[in-house]
Amino acid sequence: MTDTVLISEVGPRDGLQSIQATMPTAAKRAWIDALYAAGLREIEVASFVPARLLPQMADAAEVVRHALTKPGLTVMALVPNLRGAEAALAAGVHKLTLPVSASEAHSLANVRKSRADMVEELRHVVRLRDAHAPQVKVEAGLSTAFGCTLQGVVPDDDVVRLAAAVVEAGVDEAGLSDTTGMANPAQVRRLFTRVRAEIGPRTGAAHMHNTRGLGLANCLAAFDVGVRTFDSSQGGLGGCPFAPGASGNVVTEDLVFMFEAMGVHTGVDLPRLMAAREPLRRGLPGEPLYGMTPEAGLPKGFVAATV
């Protein structure tokens, strides 16, 4: 039986909020349309934060409304707090993601709250969800799980304790994020194994960055220990504005190619995915896009995985 993974595209949120340019709303809609046409079925389309802080996300509700017209698409949004969650739920999202940093220094820089305060904020968001939209999933993204450019080493024990705390607070799943691109494959295997031993099937996505060229290797390491959901960004757009030196996400095109070449089904059509770079280019003229697979093309005789 062929293995299957879920590729969760985070470019329209993580990618766009990390660059200076603001993509026009019409261009965002066209890009999301192209990603959907390529077979992506979970897309993080926006973050609900004050426009004065992230003008790139000022049209979040409008973008969500458009994405909701796509049958079978899980429309996801990042929210840093209860107010953001209220706005996202009002817009109709299917899934909320909250960043909860394993590094105290990063937590204070990113959301101006301590780790303990963020767990409490998460508890309030879960109560809101339970009261008004029980069908909506809530995910905690445990950021800086593999190291922090501000703090340095983040102990595994801190990550495991935080995973247990967010699950106790009521999240549906807790993923691990290499926010600063410091992870290595041995560390990824070790930490995901420990977290799964602690919270079981609530262990969520691997969100890897390619800062030091290990993004795909780290995704493969996570796959080897049972992870089946992977965040990535078309063209490798993204990074964290509050983690100095942290550059882009794993490139969706390269991640899909790796899995399909291995015989692991992603549900994503690679030629259509690479064609989706064109509306992205039109919406962000001059912005560098990355990816080895789009440059090299598909190998002669390449056959995608089937289920």
- CA distances to 20, 63, 208 from 33, rounded to whole Å, are 23, 11, 24
Q: Which helix (H) or strand (E) holds 66?
A: helix 60-67
Residues with a known catalytic role: 240
CA separation for the pair 200, 52 (Å, rounded): 39
Q: Which helix (H) or strand (E) holds 60?
A: helix 60-67
CA separation for the pair 38, 249 (Å, rounded): 19
CB atoms within 10 A of CB 153: 11
**Which of 74, 39, 36, 71 is CA-nearest to residue 260?**
39
Give strand ranges (E) for 134-250.
137-143, 173-177, 203-207, 229-232
Which residues are within 8 A (CB) of 226 and not within 5 positions of it... i.e. 6 or more apart?
192, 196, 203
Using the Cα atoms of residue 66, residue 99, residue 21 and residue 270 in order, give the sign of their dihedral.
negative
CA separation for the pair 170, 9 (Å, rounded): 24
Q: Which amino acid is at 81?
A: N
